[in-house]
Amino acid sequence: MSEFLKTHIDDHVLHVILHRGKSNAMHLEMIQEIQDVFANAEKDPAIEGVVITGHEGFFTSGLDLITLYGYDERQMEVFWDAFIDLLYTVTAFPKPYVAAISGHSPAGGCVLAIAADARVMAEGEYIIGLNEVPVGIIVPHGIFDLYSFWIGEAQAYRFLLEGKLLSPQEALQVGLVDEVVALDKIQRSAVRHIKKYTQLEKNAWQRTKLNLRTRVLQSMQANKEQTIVEMLTQWWKPSTRAVLKTIIDNLTAKKR
């Protein structure tokens, strides 16, 4: 039973709704639940594809910095290990996977979305992109490769180093999302993408998908331990802790 996700199956499509507070910020337990859902969906022959979404206003704001800030060294090591494993799982998911981006989707939210085969984003004053560097988090090479997969290396390089966040229309223009539609149409649109894929010969589609993602998946697996060490070292640097503390103070002030 999931505490931070709601799920239902409709016409062989598994709908996963992120359901944790206002912004769907992800901590260890939520990441583990998403991992379990995708692992089970891969094995279930009744599920032909997965649509993941949030609620109005937020797909997910990314990592729950407030909770993560309080983790000890062992908890952070477990967290980064789980996060990298989740990224690999959703990227290597052989069945059609579509992100129905219902609102803001920065950082970890964008990572979850770019692992999908297609992205449909709600129109509105929302943001999407990878802004880890301004927060003080190192971007692993596997995430750069995945980002580049959709928007090209030169653009991904520039966007990552400045932590650029885009509006839905800007994301559409650069190829980060495939469609921008009214919020009440994103689920229908996402399912349409799933059905477009499932009409094709299943084995040929799945094998081709994984073949096209071979380089990205190899990049994620390579030097995983070294990546975790780098991310942990950066996480505990006083300069990073200071940036995180400022962000957390601002977030806490807004909640009052």
Tokens of 47: 């599920």
**First-to-final CA distance of the chain:** 32
Give pLDDT, residue 71.
96
Tokens of 250: 């601002």
CB 197 within 8 A of CB 96: yes
Buried b (16+ CB within 10 A) or exposed e, 153-175: eebbeebbeebbbbbbebbbebe
CB 61 within 8 A of CB 109: yes
Give pLDDT, residue 13.
98
Give pLDDT, residue 223.
80
Rounded to an integer, the average pLDDT of 163-176 is 98
- Farthest-apart Cα atoms in the chain, separation: 53
The answer to whether residue 255 scores a pLDDT higher than 80 is no
Rounded to an integer, the average pLDDT of 234-246 is 94
The answer to whether residue 123 scores a pLDDT higher than 90 is yes
- Could you report the per-residue pLDDT of 34-55, keeping only the tens digit for each? 999 999 999 999 999 999 999 9
CB 21 within 8 A of CB 4: no
Helix (H, G, I), strand (E, B) or coil at 201: coil
Residues 6+ apart with CB under 8 A from 152: 175
Rounded to an integer, the average pLDDT of 175-199 is 97
Give pLDDT, residue 29.
97
What pTM does this model have? Answer: 0.95
- Could you report the per-residue pLDDT of 193-235, keeping only the tens digit for each? 999 999 999 999 999 999 999 999 998 888 889 999 999 999 9
